[in-house]
Amino acid sequence: MKTLTVTDVVQSEQEQSIEMKRRNAIKGAFFSEYIDMFDIYLPVVVLSPVLAFFQPPHLSGGMETILASLVFITTLLGRPIGALLFGMVADRIGRRKASIWSVSGFGVVTLLIALLPGYESIGIASYWALVLLRFVDGIFLGGGYTGAMPLAIEYSKKAQRGFVGGFIIAGFPLAYVSINLIAMLMFVLFPLNGMHSPYAQWGWRIPFVLGAVLAGVLAMYYVRKVAESEIWESEAADKGSQPEKLPLTDLVRGKSGRNLLQVLVMMTGFWLTQNIITIFLPTGLLVKTLHLNGFQMTSTLMITYFVLFFSYIGSGMIAQVIGRRRFFVIVGPLIATVGAALLYTLANVEGLSLTTIIVLVCVLAVLVTSPWGVIVTYINERFVTDVRATGFGVGFSLSVIIPSFYAFYMDWLSAFMPLRMTSVVLLCVGGLIGAVGALMGPETKDVDF
């Protein structure tokens, strides 16, 4: 029997401590993504039916659409700003502090939204307060994953980065399922029947309060359980005697600048394909083209997002074996061909049964969104420690802007082809851009931090 020495005991304790830090950082990043997406979908799922609570009565249909879209778009516009600001905080002051500050911020803002009075109380100021708070919320949300995800990836073992990246992003479909279940419960408990009904007056506020509470719990988790990245601390100690520079300065020039350009190209393609699935498919295809009722659409999406939770993790693990760059290069053309064929079938073939629609939507969503199980790990591996958080945040968030106007591109394309074909064309374009962007960069799965 081997006798344990003091050195063996100390080494074992150190290994256990590192493993605990690793698990806490990964869990923190997962719940950060979950709460981020939970907050993103609050206005889409919970607030959409009662936006008139904040708006003047008797608006035209076009004006209602514009005002409704602003509530969502302003959040997207705030995200790149938050990614840049908190990315620099994470690279200069620490991943952990950036996570705590950003999570606390969007928790407070979400609570303020829950307390907003309606149009009948303060007039149009109610609507503009909502838009402003959603913009500020977007800034904090953009910073939420900028510190948390690099922290988790830096703590991960090299051979497990693929699984960790897929697991973190799986918080997105879980959040979608959660917010829809909560919304359905609210509609049952507090019926919606006009702007003076229980749901319109205060039922919608409960999910926002819940989102604020979840953010508070996550902030406390980071304060009490999550340690600062040891990789970042080591780099910071090595550079302690050097004059400080903004991470943005190093990010936009030299090798990091070229890396950022490559990531932006790739992500522009995959954001475009993602928007077709997560935004256009539910409203433009399932409702307007396939004419599914509310129950059928909700059932289809809930099943799809349940499947996506596992497919994201699977994508990350597959890319860990075959290589992340190779995964993107293979999947991009598959999205442009097989994915486009599936979308064409859903948009043009009549008489599809609900079961067939659900199966086709699940297969389409798994294929088209599969790069997202790999993206978190890949982008973090593309940047050195000094600019990793800023590079990840900017590369991930700034690239969403051009694809966000997909509806305008569909409208322009409709001058040359049937409207039903425009989403298919954009899916092809996005898949190819994503593949080309991946080809511009190297393989990263063997990168050492």
pLDDT in tens, 333-387: 999 999 999 999 999 998 899 999 999 999 999 999 999 999 999 999 999 888 8
pLDDT in tens, 389-416: 889 988 998 898 899 888 889 889 989 9
> What is the tally of structural domains in the chain?
2
Contact status, residue 31 vs residue 220, Cβ threshold 8 Å = no
Would you give the DSSP letter of residue 441?
A: S
Q: Is residue 280 part of a domain?
A: yes
Q: Is residue 5 part of a domain?
A: no
**What is the distance between the alpha carbons of residues 390 and 397, in angstroms, rounded to a whole number?**
10
HEC string of 158-177 equals HHHHHHHHHHHHCHHHHHHH
Q: Are residues 51 and 186 in the same domain?
A: yes
**Which pLDDT score is estimated for 324?**
97
Q: Are residues 271 and 211 in the same domain?
A: no
Q: What is the number of other CB atoms lying within 10 angstroms of the CB of residue 35?
A: 26
Q: At what angle do helices 125-155 and 61-92 cross, to 10 degrees?
A: 40
Q: What is the number of other CB atoms lying within 10 angstroms of the CB of residue 385?
A: 19
- Using CA atoms of 291, 295, 301, 305 in order, give the dihedral in degrees to the nearest 10: -170
Q: Are residues 202 and 280 in the same domain?
A: no
Domain CATH number, residue 361: 1.20.1250.20
Main-chain phi, psi angles of 222, to 5 degrees: -65, -35
Q: Are residues 171 and 300 in the same domain?
A: no
Q: Which two tokens stand for residue 321?
A: 């074996």
Q: Which of 207, 234, 261 is the last residue of a domain?
A: 234
Q: At what angle do helices 419-439 and 340-348 cross, to 10 degrees?
A: 170
Q: Which residues contact 191 (CB under 8 A, 6 or more apart)?
A: 197, 198, 199
Q: Which of 165, 200, 234 is the last residue of a domain?
A: 234
**Which pLDDT score is estimated for 243?**
43
Q: Is residue 239 part of a domain?
A: no
Contact status, residue 149 vs residue 36, Cβ threshold 8 Å = no
Across 267-289, b (16+ Cβ under 10 Å) vs e yields bbbbbbbbbbbbbbbbebbbeee
Q: Are residues 372 and 395 in the same domain?
A: yes
Q: Is residue 11 part of a domain?
A: no
State the pTM of this model. 0.87
**Which pLDDT score is estimated for 355?**
95
Contact status, residue 141 vs residue 106, Cβ threshold 8 Å = yes
**What is the distance between the alpha carbons of residues 243 and 249, in angstroms, rounded to a whole number?**
13
Write out the residue range of the structural domain in which residue 92 sits: 16-234
Q: Are residues 222 and 255 in the same domain?
A: no
Contact status, residue 379 vs residue 171, Cβ threshold 8 Å = no
Q: Which of 234, 257, 278 is the last residue of a domain?
A: 234
**Hey, CA dihedral for 191, 192, 196, 198, is it positive or negative?**
positive
DSSP-based helix, strand, coil % in the chain, nearest 5: 80, 0, 20
Q: Are residues 132 and 271 in the same domain?
A: no
**Which pLDDT score is estimated for 61?**
65
Q: Are residues 271 and 366 in the same domain?
A: yes
Q: What is the mean pLDDT of each run of 10 residues along the chain (449 residues)?
A: 57 76 91 88 81 82 72 81 89 89 93 92 92 92 86 92 95 91 88 85 92 93 89 76 57 83 96 90 82 86 94 97 97 98 93 94 97 96 90 89 86 90 95 98 91
Q: Is residue 3 part of a domain?
A: no
